[in-house]
């Protein structure tokens, strides 16, 4: 099955700096890559995702890049703020096409604890 | 108000007892999932269901059981056979008109502690 590795496991940055979290995957058939943010004691929240037909996607201060050849994808957070402090998870999946497709078991990385110091 | 609800938020169990964790969604999603989360180990898949009356084992199904009698509900039973059940349990769902392409949305979680 798919194997997703995530680095680093912990990351500390100063407020205003950028943070980068990297993930690699093993199954070249994977075509969907979401990122989740989990605050202490809460369920993970989807913050951004990317599909294999796209190389980069941006949403305000958050961006994700995908390199299918190297089988790795990264989360970039710019202008970090203390409220960005949380655990971030990457995941990979094979999903079907067409609206309403429900296929796609997610394989998660082990998470990165991001701390943003004021 | 659409979303995924899990109850209870905290659950305490004595050794040897079975307990059932509730998961309900009103997102009209076809697929539902149960994960277990332990410190430093990320999310591990226990069971998942892609359609009513059908479900598959995940990576750590031993000591757990599920049912999927209704589209909106996917309860998880932690049996006495589960050797180390203390953990944070997360339910998720995906698919349907508000999902699509495999996006999974998570509930708030249930923290189970065995006394």
How confident is the model at residue B87, as a pLDDT? 95
Read off the pLDDT of residues A23-76 as tens digits, 9 standing for 90 and up.
999 999 898 999 999 999 999 999 999 998 889 999 999 999 999 999 999 999
* Other Cβ atoms within 10 Å of A54 Cβ, number: 12
Q: Do B105 and A46 touch (CB under 8 A)?
A: yes
Q: Do A102 and B108 touch (CB under 8 A)?
A: no
Please give the average per-residue pLDDT across B47-71, as a whole number.
93
Contacts for B108 with CB less than 8 Å, ≥ 6 apart:
A42, A43, B4, B5, B6, B9
A102/chain B closest Cα distance in angstroms? 4
**Residue B83 reports pLDDT greater than 70:** yes
How confident is the model at residue B97, as a pLDDT? 44
Q: Do A43 and B106 touch (CB under 8 A)?
A: yes
- Whether the CB of B105 is below 8 Å from some CB of chain A: the reply is yes
How confident is the model at residue B96, as a pLDDT? 54
Q: How confident is the model at residue B1 (pLDDT cuts 50, 70, 90)?
A: low
Q: Mean pLDDT, chain B, as a whole number? A: 89
**Residue B2 reports pLDDT greater than 80:** no
Q: Do A102 and B109 touch (CB under 8 A)?
A: no
Contacts for B80 with CB less than 8 Å, ≥ 6 apart:
B15, B16, B17, B18
A6: nearest CA in chain B?
B42
* Other Cβ atoms within 10 Å of A39 Cβ, number: 12
How confident is the model at residue B103, as a pLDDT? 83
Q: How confident is the model at residue B40 (pLDDT cuts 50, 70, 90)?
A: confident
Question: Which of A9, A33, A43 is the best residue to mutate to test the B interface, defined by the most B CB atoms within 10 Å of its own CB?
Answer: A43
Rounded to whole angstroms, how far apart are CA atoms B62 and B34? 13
Q: Do A100 and B95 touch (CB under 8 A)?
A: yes
How confident is the model at residue B30, as a pLDDT? 86
Specify whether the CB–CB gap between A6 and A89 falls below 8 A: yes
Read off the pLDDT of residues A83-112 as tens digits, 9 standing for 90 and up.
999 999 999 988 765 444 445 688 999 999
Residues B63/A2/B37/A58 CA torsion (nearest 10 deg): -150
Segment 61-90 of chain A within 8 Å of chain B by CB: 89
How confident is the model at residue A103, as a pLDDT? 56
Contacts of A9 in chain B (CB under 8 A): 40
Closest CA to A36 of A88, A111, A112: A88
How confident is the model at residue A100, as a pLDDT? 41
């Amino acid at each position: 099955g798919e194997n997703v590795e995530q680095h680093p496991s912990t990351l500390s940055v100063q407020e205003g700096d950028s943070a980068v979290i990297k993930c690699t995957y093993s199954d070249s058939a994977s075509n969907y890559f979401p990122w989740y943010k989990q605050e202490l004691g809460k369920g993970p929240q989807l913050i951004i995702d990317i599909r294999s037909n796209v190389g980069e996607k941006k949403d305000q201060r958050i961006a994700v890049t995908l390199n299918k050849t190297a089988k790795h994808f990264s989360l970039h957070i710019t202008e970090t703020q203390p409220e960005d402090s949380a655990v971030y998870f990457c995941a990979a999946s094979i999903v079907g096409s067409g609206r309403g497709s429900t296929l796609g078991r997610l394989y998660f990385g082990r998470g990165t604890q991001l701390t943003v110091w004021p | 108000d659409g979303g995924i609800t899990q109850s209870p938020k905290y659950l305490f169990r004595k050794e040897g007892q079975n307990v059932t964790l509730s998961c309900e969604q009103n997102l009209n999603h076809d697929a539902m999932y149960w994960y277990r989360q332990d410190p430093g180990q990320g999310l591990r898949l226990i069971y998942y269901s892609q359609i009513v009356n059908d479900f598959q084992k995940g990576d750590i199904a031993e000591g757990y059981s599920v049912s999927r009698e209704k589209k909106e509900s996917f309860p998880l039973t932690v049996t006495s056979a589960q050797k180390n059940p203390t953990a944070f349990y997360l339910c998720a769902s995906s698919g349907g008109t508000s999902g699509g392409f495999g996006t999974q949305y998570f509930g708030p979680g249930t923290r189970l502690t065995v006394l």
